[in-house]
Amino acid sequence: MRSSMALSKSLLLLLLGFLCCSSTEAHVEFGFYNDTCPHAEAIVLHEMTRIIADDPTLAGSLLRMQFQDCFVRGCDASILLDSSNNNVAEKDAIPNKSLRGFDVIDRVKAKLEEACPGIVSCADIIAMAARDSVYLANGPYFPIQTGRRDGNKSEASDLMANLPPPTANITELKAFFLQKNLTVKDLVVLSGAHTIGFSHCSSFSQRLYNFSGKGDTDPSLDMEYAEKLKRKCKPHDHDDMRTLVKMDPKSPRRFDLCYYRLVSEGKGLFASDEALLHDPETRAYVERQAMASSAEEFFNDFGSSMVIMGKIGVLTHQKGEIRKKCAYVN
Ligand code: HEM
């Protein structure tokens, strides 16, 4: 009797131990730096306020950086690592060539290293910079979890299978998001990030000049808008890395509902934006936000989906490291 009670007690302890350890696996939390670097989030916001005041166009780039970091190998700052003699890193993959803001992350990291050396990860800096970019572009401020650690691998070849291209149709987009455990709602909500920022012509010129391989224009693109875009982006200029097009022509620096209005009018810049009209759930969301008189629902949804995206494949506890310099492993 006593031995069977002892056995059930030890089984219970084992189970509790298992539950406790599995719940601490890959887990980020609100206020992770409260004890170790209490001013971390304030330091980032202070620096970001100065950075965005000097160059408001960086807000879009830093928001995009978090998406492209999290979708490839998880939110582990693999996007920041430099290539080496025998490895081409994510940073040098073609879709990432247009990313800006690596120096911003280095600047914020330097400030954090001054205040609390070796404590704040580059992966968390990307997440905080993305959150603050939205806020500083007049979008919502939402609390985010921290405690991510930095990875030690970055391979350009990982992009293709993980990052949706701007030509993706709705089936492909849903599959890319599902692969990261993100829902159809996350897809339509996070796509709303395209309310700020700029794109290079190469990301959508196929829609203007060679949509179905016959030199035609995508018929779903508003005709007047297509003509405007053609005046900016010349045919066969695929390598043009200078011309930038506003993704939301009226308010490219303001985080608002305009993206959904544009998409509903056939003025979404990428095929992947237009694709949101081809699924009942995403279409309903686009149309509801396009008509909304307040951004409240979108802002709340955006904060929630960013928190979810920010948990993809995180390294925590004993995994990963806190890089001293974001471009190199220690
Ligand atoms: C749904 C699939 C998505 C696709 C196919 C996509 C694709 C792209 C492309 C091709 C660009 C332009 C790159 C260039 O030519 O410079 C871009 C820009 C941008 N993307 Fe996305 N994106 C997607 C989702 C997201 C998500 C989830 C976010 C963030 C939450 C995001 C944020 C941005 C921002 C802010 C920009 C502007 C960047 C700048 O101003 O430099 N995108 N995206």
The reply to whether domains 29-160 and 162-308 share a CATH topology is: no
Over range 295-324, report the average pLDDT.
97
HSE-CB at 262 with a 13 A cutoff on CA atoms is 27
Cα of 7 vs centre of ligand 1, distance in Å, is 56
Q: Which of 22-36, 164-178, 183-197, 213-227 is predicted least confidently? A: 22-36
Structure tokens at 163: 């990052």
147: annotated binding-site residue? no
Q: What is the pLDDT of residue 236?
A: 74
245: annotated binding-site residue? no
CATH number assigned to the domain with residue range 162-308, chosen from the 4 options 1.20.1090.10, 2.40.50.100, 1.20.1250.20, 1.10.420.10:
1.10.420.10
The per-residue pLDDT of the chain, averaged, comes to: 92
Contacts of 147 (CB under 8 A, 6+ apart): 27, 28, 29, 32, 124, 314, 316
Assigned CATH class of 29-160: mainly alpha
* Amino acid code (one letter) for 137: A
Cα of 194 vs centre of ligand 1, distance in Å, is 6
Look at ligand 1, atom 40, and give the residue with the nearest C-alpha: 197
Identify the residue with better confidence: 240 or 65.
65
* Amino acid code (one letter) for 229: L
Q: What is the pLDDT of residue 238?
A: 63
The model's pLDDT over 123-155, given as tens digits with 9 standing for 90+, comes to 999 999 999 999 999 999 999 999 999 999 999
Instruction: Give residue ranges with CB within 6 A of ligand 1.
Output: 60-61, 63-64, 67, 98, 164-166, 168, 173, 190-191, 193-194, 196-200, 203, 270, 272
Cα of 64 vs centre of ligand 1, distance in Å, is 5
Is the C-alpha dihedral spanning 49, 268, 72, 211 positive or negative?
negative
Listed by start position, the domains of the chain span 29-160, 162-308
Cα of 181 vs centre of ligand 1, distance in Å, is 19
